[in-house]
Chains A and B, each alone.
Chain A
Amino acid sequence: MRMILAAAAVLILAALPVFAPWLQFVLTLAIAKGFAALGVAVLLRAGLISIGHAMFFAASAYGVAFLARAGVNDFAVLLILSVLTAALFGAVAGAFLVRYRAIFFAMLNLAVSMVFYALCAKLYGVTGGTDGMAVPIPGIFGVVLAEPAFKSVLFYLSLTLMVLVGFAVHRYLNSPLGHALSAVHTNEIRLEYLGIPVWAVLLIAYVVSAALAGLGGAIAGFAIGRVVPEFAFWTASGHLVLIAVLGGIGGVPGAFLGALFLELLHSAAVTVTDAWNLIVGVALIIVIMFMPQGFYGLLSRKEASSL
C-alpha cells in the first residue's frame, strides 16, 4: 500500500510542472531542501539535533561553483564531486562533533557553520563575498542545453534521485548500522557493552547526513544559478531542522513531505501578503499542534500508536 502511495505521489510530482510550469523551480528547490532535511533527520534518529547542516548544503553548492570556475563542465562530475566535498567536510567536522551530545552538539554545529558562513561572506577575493558565485549551466554528456531545458532535466533528475537515494537511505536506516544509530538515542552504555563503537556509528551517520545535505545544496545551486553565503546562515540550518520535524523523523518520505509543504506554503503566502512569515508561522503551529508525529505520522499512524 505504501509503495502504491509513494509511486502515485512521485507520478503526481512529475506531472505537476506540465500543468503549472512555474512549479518546476519550487519543486526542484523543495526536493533539494528535502535531501538536506533528510540528512538532519538521520541524525535526529540518534537524538542529535544539528543546527548547522546548512554548512554542508552551502559547501557543496560552493564546490560546484569552484569546480565550474576551474573548468569542470560536466553535470555528473560536478554533482558527484560536490557531494564528495560535502561528505569530506562532514568527515572532518564529524570526527570532532560526534563526541558531543544534546545542546553541546547542536551549538557546536551552529558555531562551526557560522565560521563557515563568515569565511564565505568575508573572503571576497575567493568566494565573491556576499555577492556569491555564479553556477553556470553545465553540459550533460557533452551537450550544453538551453536554460529552460536544463532546468527541466534538473527537476526530473532530482525526482529520480529522490526515489533512488531515498530508497538507499531507507535501506541504511533498516540495516544493523541504522538500528545501532537509533539505539544511540536510547542506550549508549548497552551499545558499548555489545562491543559496538558508538563514535563510528555516529561518524558514519554524520558523513551520510552531510552528503545528503550536499546533494541538496548542489541541486539548489544548479537550480538558482548562484551560491551566496546565506546558503550557510544559521536560519537556513534552522529551516532544515524545521522541515525534518515537520515531516516527521520516522521515515524517509517525511523530510520530502515537509520540504514540499513548506516550499509550496511559502510560494502561496508571498503572493498574498508581504507578511508571509505570519502565514507560514501560523500554519506551522497548526501542523505541530495537531500532527506531533509530523506528516510521516499520518502515513504510519498505526505504527506510531503502537509505540
Chain B
Amino acid sequence: MTRPILQAKDLHVAFNGVKAADGVSMEVRDGEFLAIIGPNGSGKTTLLNICTGYIRPKSGRVQLDGQDITQLSPRAIARRGVARAFQIPQLFSAQRVIDNMMLALAAKRGLWSAVRPLETAARREEAKALLELVGLADDSERISSTLPEGHRKLLDIAVALALKPRLLLLDEPTSGVSALERFQLMEALMGALRHQQITALFVEHDMEVVARYASRVLVWNAGNIMAEGLPDKVFSNAEVRERVVGVA
C-alpha cells in the first residue's frame, strides 16, 4: 500500500449540537484521487476546512507527512504543499485571468519584491502554460468576473495548481457546471493532476463523475465514515445506494 500523505485521526467537530465529525479517522494516500461523497450537511466540507486549518476540531488531529498541522493556519498549511479549490470559486475577480495566475505563481516563489513587476516574461509564460493545461488559454486577458461558471471553476483550480502542491483538496469541482461542461472540466483537471503528479481529495455529489474518475471512495454520513473502498465496491453497497446514491 502507498504511504499516506494526510491523516486525520479521531476528529470531533459539532455545530450547535449537530455532529459534523464524530470520531472520524481517514487518510489520503500518495498518488490517489480520493472522492468523498455523502448527503448534504453530513460534514464533507467541514473535513476540508479542518484539513486546511480553517476550522479547528474540538478534538483529534490532522497530520501531513506525519507532522501535526491541526493548529496551523490556512497560510501555513498552504506553504507546506496543500492547496485548495473551492465550491464557490475564490478568485481576484477584478483582475485579469493571467494576473490571478501570476499572483499565485509569485506567492509560491517571491511575493516580496516591491520593485520588480508582477508580470515578467518568464512568469507570464508559466501562467499561460498552466492555463493551457486546464483549457483556459483563450481567456487569459479577460477579467475573471466575466468568465462563465465552468471557467471560473477551472481558474480556481488552476490558481491552486500554480502553488505546485503535493496535495490538492477540491470542494465539488463540478457543482454549478453544466452537464456538457462537467466532463470537459474533469478531463482537464485529471490531465493537470497527472501532469504535475499531484495527489487529490475531492468532495463530489455527481456520482457519474465519482464512478469515472475516483481511484477510491469514502462515504460520509452524519459525521462518520459509512463505507470506503474502490468505486465499484462502494456503489454496490446497498446501504450506500439507498442513503447516498439515491437508488435502492
Contact = CB atoms under 8 A, between A and B. Distances in A.
Nearest to A171: B115
Contacts of B160: 193
Interface in A152-210: 171-172, 174-180, 182-183, 185-187, 189-197, 204
Contacts of B111: 176-177, 180, 196
Contacts of B95: 179, 182-183, 186
A194 B159 contact: yes
Interface in B42-99: 52, 73-76, 78-79, 83-84, 90-95, 99
B36 interface: no
A196 B84 CA distance: 14
B18 interface: no
Interface string A269-307: 000000000000000000000000000000000000011
Interface size class of A (residues with CB under 8 A): 20 to 34
Contacts of A193: 52, 74-75, 78, 83-84, 90, 160
B103 A194 contact: yes
Contacts, number: 96
B75 A197 contact: yes
Nearest to A306: B143
Interface string B158-169: 011001000000
B162 to A, nearest CB: 8
A179 B108 CA distance: 14
B118 A179 contact: yes
Contacts of A182: 92, 94-95
B117 A175 contact: yes
B103 A179 contact: yes
Given A183-B103, A192-B75, A175 B118 contact: yes
B225 to A, nearest CB: 26
B107 interface: yes
B53 to A, nearest CB: 9
B159 A178 contact: no
Contacts of A185: 94
Contacts of B83: 193
B75 A196 contact: yes
A186 B144 CA distance: 11
B92 A187 contact: yes
Which among A196, A197, A306 has the highest number of chain B CB atoms within 10 Å?
A196
Given A192-B74, A197-B75, A177 B114 contact: yes
B26 interface: no
A52 B76 CA distance: 33
- Main SS of the interface on chain A? helix
A180 B118 CA distance: 10
Contact of B114 (A175, A189, A194, A306): A175
A175 B113 CA distance: 7
B94 A186 contact: yes
B92 A190 contact: yes
A194 B93 contact: no
Nearest to B82: A193
B112 interface: yes
Given A176-B113, A307-B143, A195 B75 contact: yes
B113 A187 contact: no
Nearest to A204: B114
A177 B115 CA distance: 9
Contact of A190 (B76, B106, B113, B159): B159
B73 A192 contact: yes
Given A195-B75, A195-B163, A307-B143, A190 B91 contact: yes
B78 to A, nearest CB: 4
A232 to B, nearest CB: 28
Nearest to B116: A175
Nearest to A190: B90
A306 B84 CA distance: 30
A186 B75 contact: no
A192 B110 CA distance: 15
Contacts of B114: 171-172, 175, 177-178, 204
A123 to B, nearest CB: 36
Contacts of A183: 92, 95, 103
A152 to B, nearest CB: 32
Contacts of A186: 91-95
B210 interface: no
A194 B163 contact: yes
B118 A176 contact: yes
A178 B94 CA distance: 14
Contacts of B84: 193
Contact of A176 (B93, B94, B103, B143): B103
Nearest to B123: A176
Interface of B: 52, 73-76, 78-79, 83-84, 90-95, 99, 102-104, 106-108, 110-119, 143, 159-160, 163
7 contacts: A175-B118, A176-B106, A176-B113, A178-B114, A191-B107, A193-B78, A195-B78
Among all A-B residue pairs, the 7 with the closest Cβ atoms: A176-B106, A195-B78, A194-B107, A190-B90, A195-B79, A183-B92, A176-B111
